[in-house]
Amino acid sequence: MLTPAHRVAVLGVGSKGSTHVILLSPDGDSSIAHTFKKSTRTSYGGIAYALFDPVTPGDREEMPWQRGDILVSRSTASDRPQRAILRLRPNYRGRRFVGYDEQVIYAGVGAAIQGLAFDPHGRLYAAQADSKRIYRLQMSSLGKLEEIAWMATPPRLPWKGDFGFSPDGMLFLSSGEGDATGQVYKFSVGGDPRPGPASIQLITYRAAYSARSEIRGFSFFDNDSLLFTDARDAYYRSKVDPALDPTSQPAGPSQPVLAGPVIASLALRYSDPTLEKISVTDIAVMRTAWQSYLEQHRTVRAAISWSPEQGRSLHYAQWTGDAKTASMERRLHRMYGWIAAGESAPLAYRWQTDPLTGSARIGPEIVQAWGTIGKHDAEDGYLAFLAHCLWMQVHNKVPWNLHDYSAAHLELLLDGANLFRPSNATGDRFSLNEDVVVNAMPSDPALCFAFLTGSDSAWRSGPSFIQPTRRETIFSFTRWVMDHLAHGSNPSASQGVTYYGYNGYPPVETMLRRMIDPGSSIGDPRYWTWQGCHTSAGLMIHLMRLLLIPAGRTKLYDWWAGQPEPGYHGGVDFPTEQLACLHTDEFYAMPVLMDPYLPPEEIYNGGPDESYSGYLTQFGSMPADAQAAGANMTAFLKQEAIIAARNGTNRVMKAFWGQDLANNPIPDNRPCEQKYWNAALELTSFGLTTTEAAQLLCDNEQKYLDFIANFRAEHAAELPTGGDEQQHLQAAFSLYQQLHDAWMAAR
């Protein structure tokens, strides 16, 4: 019986000479799915499982297989050797699985077909070891399958016809039958990720895995994980390095084949009572790592959705059955493969030249300002994001799990409509969902993840932002925002190409490198938030979503003079952590809060002791009129002054330390509201009353004094030793301000 637990199909010969297809799962659920008719002149060589429906080549006939079919190669010995490919298709009576129907889909004369494999595009390949060639099978103009020569394998390689493709499309071959040491070789046969014409050009190859036994058939479970057989009663799971470069120290005609490390001891052995009397000859994965994860965690699977047109949303399980989404699961598989290999996602726009800039595109083509793009680009962007999320989960790249979230939080993160949504009735145009991800276009997940982890100096070197908890991770990244971002000059849609090289909302990657803002008086390269809070909020949301943290937009409403309705500032909301900031300019552009010593958690929700829901209700609600909006903004700015006073930010300390404390007699026994007159005056300029400012200064006086004492102790070696206490205070303040100015300049 076929069940969701079955993840592997093996081809094997029993003790009585019969050939079987057996379905297996790691937990021991196994069954013989099909037995071929026994014949002394017939042998069965390779097995392949159709993970997806095939790509239809233009308007030609459909390929004779579909998702869920098992293909097996058969050879018959005679004066004119016959070869064939058989299709096993699941047969159901109602919902009950009753077996596989067998049918020949390809027949020919000549050397035996030893191996079969699908590539990530869903194209079928067959191998003939005798001729040392791999062929691609495609439809002829007559509507029949035909073999097209694709690649000649190295004649010196001890190869018996077993081969396969990793999810990112790289070709692998295994070494010959009977070898004491079996090997799997990784090949480089061209790096173009797009479907293209067949190629027979062999570039280089290199050993990727070695075992202490022969390696017969194999199939990839993930980019770094393959299953292989050794013609005995078991199969094995081993690790390979997805980043292995075949062009580095390749094997060539004048060089010995490079053997990889013998790591067979690390391979996991899977056996089963059904296999005890079976000689396993080939293996095919029926579910990859990410598919297995979704099968095990149905709440995550249910949250994955795409809206192909307005008013219609299709869940992941419905994609293959709908003409508008039929290709999306297969494309998701390819995206996953590339991301799992550490490569940039195969986004179509990355191989296109932008006519406006004359260079490679950094984002999808804008068909209507600011964020409207074509259908294929929107699907690509969502699938790349989804593939990245699944890779992060499968490989445990963060200490939390998707399946621990509520349905609502999973929907916020994984529903495609929260990234792009159809903007017309036909579904050929999509718009960035500004209500969730604000005004920043998503960029390639691979380069964004390299930035987040500090793993690629081309983007950022340094500690990873990923911390033991989501909350700490958000604070860690927000600290970078506070230390680096600068408010951009708000270029218009027509100025985007000139400012950041793109004629739509700024792609995330344009905020991850220092650039010149032509509209700013600052001539130095900075990390610009081009449209201020709206793009910085988008940056923060996109990047935290890539770390599997649900995030969305908040709004701080404002009513500008002469406008018929309120506008708003952009903010971020992390609902699982109950953290929100209604105006992300607070992190990097509000003078009263710009301080290297201010912890990010002091800004979220208005402070760590403040209510998340109360903060959103008080400041995030739509105002009834201009007067209410003005009162709300006044209260919000007042709260910023309270945060500054509570934490002694630089604007407060300049007055408290640099003016009041350093110039007053010691000891000064006056009431604090008199001693710190300049500090109180500074706070009133941000909306506090004199009484409120004085009270805050009195409440936090000891905190300020402790900070000053700690600063002086930490920098004692840099401070003069002579003079009186007043001079020491002044010298320490001077150093404090120098360090602050240096921090500001370095941003």
**190 vs 348: CA distance, rounded Å:** 17
Q: Rounded to two decimals, what is the model's pTM? A: 0.93
- Spacing of C-alpha 478 from chain mean position: 19
Per-residue confidence (pLDDT) for residue 176, from 0 to 100: 62
Per-residue confidence (pLDDT) for residue 68, from 0 to 100: 92
Comparing 432 with 266, the larger pLDDT belongs to: 432
- The yes-or-no verdict on residue 406 having pLDDT over 90 is yes
Kindly state the percentage of the chain with pLDDT values over 70: 93
668-722 per-position pLDDT tens digit: 788 877 889 899 999 998 889 999 999 999 999 999 999 999 999 999 999 998 8
| Cα three-residue angle 511-599-523, rounded to 5 degrees | 35
Tell me the mean pLDDT in the region 276-304: 93
Phi (first) and psi of residue 483, to 5 degrees: -85, -10
Q: Averaging pLDDT over each range in 68-82, 159-173, 344-358, 538-552, which range is the top one?
A: 538-552
Q: How many CB atoms lie within 10 A of CB 529?
A: 31
Do the beta carbons of residue 427 and residue 324 sit within 8 Å?
A: yes
- Give the three-state DSSP class for 75: strand
Do the beta carbons of residue 730 and residue 689 sit within 8 Å?
A: no
Q: How many CB atoms lie within 10 A of CB 404?
A: 12
**223 vs 240: CA distance, rounded Å:** 8
Per-residue confidence (pLDDT) for residue 258, from 0 to 100: 40
3-state secondary structure 623-689: CCCHHHHHHHHHHHHHHHHHHHHHHCCHHHHHHHHHHHHHHCCCCCCCCHHHHCHHHHHHHHCCCCC
Do the beta carbons of residue 334 and residue 346 sit within 8 Å?
A: yes
Q: How many CB atoms lie within 10 A of CB 560?
A: 9
Per-residue confidence (pLDDT) for residue 463, from 0 to 100: 97
| Cα three-residue angle 304-305-309, rounded to 5 degrees | 165
Sorted by sequence, the CB contacts under 8 Å of residue 422 that are 6+ apart come out as 307, 308, 309, 310, 429, 430, 431
DSSP 360: B
Of the pLDDT bands very low, low, confident and very high (cuts 50, 70, 90), residue 198 is very low
Say which residue the tokens 């009186």 belong to: 724
Q: What number of CA atoms fall less than 13 Å from residue 698's CA on the CB side?
A: 11
**711 vs 713: CA distance, rounded Å:** 5
Of the pLDDT bands very low, low, confident and very high (cuts 50, 70, 90), residue 560 is confident
Per DSSP bridges, beta strands 163-165 and 171-174 are antiparallel
**88 vs 102: CA distance, rounded Å:** 5
Structure-token pair, residue 8: 């592997």
Per DSSP bridges, beta strands 485-487 and 527-529 are parallel
Residue 261: its H or E element: none
Do the beta carbons of residue 320 and residue 291 sit within 8 Å?
A: no
**DSSP calls for 207-259:** EEEEESS----EEEEETTEEEEE-SSS-EEEEE--TT--TTSS-B-TTSPPPP
562-584 per-position pLDDT tens digit: 888 889 999 999 999 999 999 99
Q: How many CB atoms lie within 10 A of CB 444?
A: 25
Please classify residue 21 by burial: count the beta carbons closer than 10 Å to its beta carbon, then call 0-12 exposed, 13-18 middle and 19+ buried.
Answer: buried
Among 193, 190, 174, 170, which residue's Cα sits nearest to residue 182? 174
Among 1, 345, 298, 294, which residue's Cα sits nearest to residue 167? 345
What is the total residue count of the chain?
Answer: 747
Do the beta carbons of residue 184 and residue 215 sit within 8 Å?
A: yes
- The yes-or-no verdict on residue 105 having pLDDT over 90 is yes
Per-residue confidence (pLDDT) for residue 197, from 0 to 100: 45
Residue type (1 letter), 222? D
Structure-token pair, residue 447: 């380069």
Residue 370: cis peptide before it, omega within 30 degrees of 0: yes
Fold assignment, 8-287: Tachylectin-2; Chain A (2.115.10)
238-287 per-position pLDDT tens digit: 888 888 877 765 444 433 344 343 344 457 888 888 888 888 999 999 99
Among 126, 120, 152, which residue's Cα sits nearest to residue 138? 126
Per-residue confidence (pLDDT) for residue 613, from 0 to 100: 97
32-43 per-position pLDDT tens digit: 889 998 887 888
Of the pLDDT bands very low, low, confident and very high (cuts 50, 70, 90), residue 3 is low
Tell me the mean pLDDT in the region 116-122: 91
**692 vs 638: CA distance, rounded Å:** 10
Residue 572: its H or E element: strand 567-574
Q: What is the mean pLDDT of the chain?
A: 89
**673 vs 109: CA distance, rounded Å:** 100
Per DSSP bridges, beta strands 305-309 and 204-211 are unpaired
**719 vs 736: CA distance, rounded Å:** 11
Structure-token pair, residue 734: 């001077």
Where are the domains positioned within the chain?
8-287, 290-432, 440-644, 648-746
Q: How far is CA 179 from CA 114, 216, 231, 621, in A?
A: 17, 10, 12, 72
